[in-house]
Amino acid sequence: MEHSVKGIVAVLCLIAIRGPATHLAAQVNPYKDGIPGVTGYRAEVLAEVMIQEDKFLRLAEAIPAAKYTWRPAPDVRSVAEVFLHVSAANFNVYQLVGTPPPSGLDIKGLEKSTTEKTKVIATLKESFAHARKAIHSMSDADLDKSLDWFGGKNTERGVLLFVTRHAAEHLGQSIAYARFMGVVPPWTEDAQKQEKQEISPKTKQ
């Protein structure tokens, strides 16, 4: 049973990230409009972070509070734990590029700190604000700076790549969770409504 559940989630993950631009991107497209004060590679990363932030927050709002403890199998993270795991990474990894986490924050215990929807969403918001601040604070000149990384070496550029990829993986996981519970991602609902609006005039003709 455990393997079948994981298989379903894996399949859902393959289709999870499909979809049009998010609500944020529809208002301010960081790829098109640019991001004041950030250039080059950092601007590209920050654009991805902004899109991820918008999707995480909209999905977190769409999932009912009663489902925040749901998990597909006993040894897999719950809805709340996935969101808080991403938050912990945002707070923790960016200290490698010069922005330490808030004083007094228990990063190790953050993932299991709460299952309350409002608190989880507030933590997500704070963590992405932290990520954006960190990227803004970096210098382009330091992107190729070498640092210790899991027993080896990496660059600050590589750290940014890792943390955005990490969030993207868990966004796909969260979308799969939502689909499994019957929750349609908000940006998919937006696209479906737009398609209906475009089709309706043609139908009337």
Chain segment 107-166, per-residue pLDDT in tens: 999 999 999 999 999 999 999 999 999 999 999 999 999 999 999 999 999 999 999 999
Region of residue 187 (left: phi > 0; alpha: psi -120 to 50; beta: else): alpha
Chain segment 63-120, per-residue pLDDT in tens: 999 999 999 999 999 999 999 999 999 999 999 999 999 999 999 999 999 999 999 9
Angle, vertex CA 97, rays to CA 96 and CA 99, nearest 5: 90
Provide the residue range defining the domain that includes 129.
Answer: 2-185
Higher pLDDT, 17 or 167: 167
Number of domains in the chain: 1
The pTM score is 0.82
Residue 165 lies in a domain: yes
Within 10 A of 198 (CB to CB), how many other CB atoms are there?
Answer: 9
Residue 192 lies in a domain: no
Instruction: CATH number of the domain at 181, please.
Output: 1.20.120.450
CA–CA separation, 124 vs 121, rounded Å?
5
Residue 204 lies in a domain: no
